[in-house]
A and B are shown apart, each in its own frame.
Chain A
């Protein structure tokens, strides 16, 4: 049972991430669509800092489900 759970849970985590991936996708696509990114670039924003900032913000967002995952692991 433990082996099955250990095998099944990562698969569910993978599928769960795929289902919520749209959250991370919406911002860069909408900023490109509305020319917001172009405006920021024209204002002197670096491409590297833009993606790095976006990545860090999304990493914090991703933190919540993984904290819940680790709590689940510790509790069971």
Chain B
């Protein structure tokens, strides 16, 4: 239940943050969908592989660092990776686990078989996780991490929205103090 609740929770405060730019509902409802599609999905999908490719060609660690930053900063990217993780583990992970169990049983039965070692190696390569910030770093990109980052993003965006609203009301108060008794 917590997974479902936290799934894409950062996207709502992002919309709230965008709502501070609009003054009327008609413009807001017309503009928000294209704005989110273009700047949330299309532009990152075009720009990200280009910059990532350039960063990888310079240095592999720079590319990984850039990818990690996009994963943390862009709530759409986090949401994409989370749903991809759920689907890939459901579709591929199950059959992979079954195959690994079968291989383990086979290797116990025939430990001297040469194909058994090959299967072991294949399993080791398949089970490698993607790390955050460095190639073999301690922090792996998992669903739990994605949900945690989603919650942090939600808090940050909500905080920014509240801060903008507070700044606006403060500006209004200052202006009204300036004109107080002068009109």
Contacts and interface: CB of A to CB of B under 8 A. Distances in A.
A40 interface: no
Interface class of chain B by DSSP: helix
Given A6-B92, A26-B29, A51-B16, A62 B37 contact: no
Interface string B18-30: 1100111100110
B80 A26 contact: no
Interface string B69-106: 00000001001110110111011100000000000000
Nearest to B4: A66
B50 interface: no
How large, as a class, is the contact surface on chain B? Answer: 35 or more
A15 B161 CA distance: 23
B80 A73 contact: no
Nearest to B91: A2
Interface class of chain A by DSSP: helix
A14 B19 contact: no
How large, as a class, is the contact surface on chain A? Answer: 35 or more
Given A10-B80, A24-B16, A63 B4 contact: yes
Contacts of B13: 55
B165 interface: yes
Nearest to B13: A55
Interface of B: 4-5, 7-9, 11-13, 15-16, 18-19, 22-25, 28-29, 32-33, 36-37, 40-41, 76, 79-81, 83-84, 86-88, 90-92, 154, 158, 161-162, 165-166, 169
